[in-house]
Amino acid sequence: MSTAPYPSVDETILRLKKRVRSLTITLVVISIVLIAVIGTSAALTWRKLKAIEKTQGDIQFSQFVTDFNNGTDYVQPKVNTIQFLRRGYSIDFDSVQYTQDGLVLSGAVGNSTNLWISSLALDMTAQPYPYKIKDKWLQGSKFFWWPDEWNIGHAQTTVGSLNPGSSSPFHITIPNVKQTPDGLQIAVSFSGERYQYLGK
């Protein structure tokens, strides 16, 4: 009775080496695929998180600008254009000049209300447009107010009396203001004023 010859030890070792090699290659390929999948997922997640963070920052900044604009009157340094403030007041510049001393403005402040105003001081603050300070706001403490260091210049002038249905002239120089392509906006506010209703 004949028996099948057993493979030699060398052949067995050679087969085992081939199997180990193919298993190693399979493991390496699987590892590379897994690393690629994990890396791609991590990159996509990171990009989504960054996009969400940017969107949140844009929304927060937009809310900051909206809230600030709702509480502040702004005018543009434009000649012969009546610009209305809140509560029935207006500003009309008849002269806008950029000089070595700053931005020189002349014009009139109007009163369409039924209030007599006395001891009126007119405050004007030159500010950059909000988009110019967006990076500072996002990188900073995300203030709920407009810090003074963002302002370009500030000045105050005395108007005195402002009668109902009339206007009063003013002349003011805002220092440190230069004409640039970026432009600027002027925040306007009253201070020190006293009010009295018409006819009283």
User: In the listed set 16, 41, 70, which residue is the last one of a domain according to the structure?
Assistant: 70
For residue 1, is it within any domain?
A: no
Closest CA to 126 of 166, 173, 71: 173
Question: Can you give the C-alpha Rg of the chain in angstroms?
Answer: 36
Helix or strand holding residue 105 (H, E): strand 102-111
User: In the listed set 30, 51, 70, which residue is the last one of a domain according to the structure?
Assistant: 70
For residue 2, is it within any domain?
A: no
State how many domains the chain has.
2
For residue 17, is it within any domain?
A: yes
Q: Are residues 88 and 155 in the same domain?
A: yes
Each residue's pLDDT expressed in tens, for the chain with a length of 200 residues: 555 555 666 777 888 888 888 888 889 999 999 999 998 888 888 888 888 888 888 888 888 888 877 888 999 999 989 999 988 899 999 999 999 999 999 999 999 988 899 999 999 999 998 888 888 877 776 666 777 888 999 999 999 899 999 999 999 999 999 988 888 999 999 988 888 876 55
User: Token match 């002038």: residue?
Assistant: 157
Cα separation, 75 vs 77, in Å, equals 7
The per-residue pLDDT for 2 is 54
Q: Are residues 34 and 51 in the same domain?
A: yes
Q: What is the residue range of 21's domain?
A: 8-70
3-state secondary structure of 127: strand
- CATH number for the domain that contains residue 136: 2.60.40.1620
Closest CA to 165 of 191, 123, 199: 199
3-state secondary structure of 123: strand
Contact 157, 171 (CB under 8 A): yes
The 3 state secondary structure assigned to 14-68 is HHHHHHHHHHHHHHHHHHHHHHHHHHHHHHHHHHHHHHHHHHHHHHHHHHHHHHH
The per-residue pLDDT for 54 is 82
For residue 156, is it within any domain?
A: yes
Q: Are residues 32 and 45 in the same domain?
A: yes
